[in-house]
Amino acid sequence: MEKPAKTPDLIDSKAVKELVAARALRGATVLGRPGGWGVLVRYGDAERAVAGQKSRRMRLWRHADSAIGFVRSELGMDRFDVDAQDYRPDESERRRPDASERLKRVLSYDEWIGQDLELALRQADDPATGWVDHDDAMAELEGVLAKARAMKAPPRG
């Protein structure tokens, strides 16, 4: 049985940016992990994993090219190590919602709205449909609202 990959100590993104600004980084490693790719930074005698912005866990990118892009653009390094020993793409702890499921929900909503719109248009075109003038409808609504206010008003006197 394989031994699970040890999670290295973490460093937050603010501290990483400060190290970059101080030109204190000695190196970086794009590290394969179960479910993605992390980044280790080396400074002084320490080596730490870059943490996610809102978590106390190693930040993971799904694709190595995304992690490499972070090292190149955010850390300003063109030379770094890659360690794929513990990389296993099929063991992600997190799953993004399935895009096809989201699309199906959107399409079913669109279909539902389309059906409602179609029904409303048929009713509007039906000669038997009764129409109420806007001013008459607003006057009736004001009457209903006035009664409701009167019922809620405290007794005077």
Please list the residues that pair with 37 across neighbouring strands. Answer: 32, 61
Residue 1 in this model has a pLDDT that exceeds 50: no
Q: Select from 34, 36, 30 the least CA-distant residue to 75.
A: 30
- CATH code for the domain defined by 10-83: 3.30.720
**Cα 72 vs. chain centroid, distance in angstroms?**
24
Could you tell me the CA-to-CA distances from 56 to 12, 70, 135 in Å, in that order?
Answer: 8, 19, 60
What the block records as the tokens of 135 is 């001013």
Per the model's pLDDT, the better-predicted residue between 103 and 78 turns out to be 78
Share of the chain above pLDDT 90, in %: 54
Q: What is the pLDDT of residues 128-138, one digit of tens each?
A: 888 889 999 99
Whole-model pTM? Answer: 0.56
Reduced to 3 states (helix: H, G, I; strand: E, B; else coil), residue 118 is helix
Over range 81-87, report the average pLDDT: 94
List where CATH 3.30.720 sits in the chain: 10-83
Residue 147 in this model has a pLDDT that exceeds 80: yes
pLDDT confidence of residue 58: 92
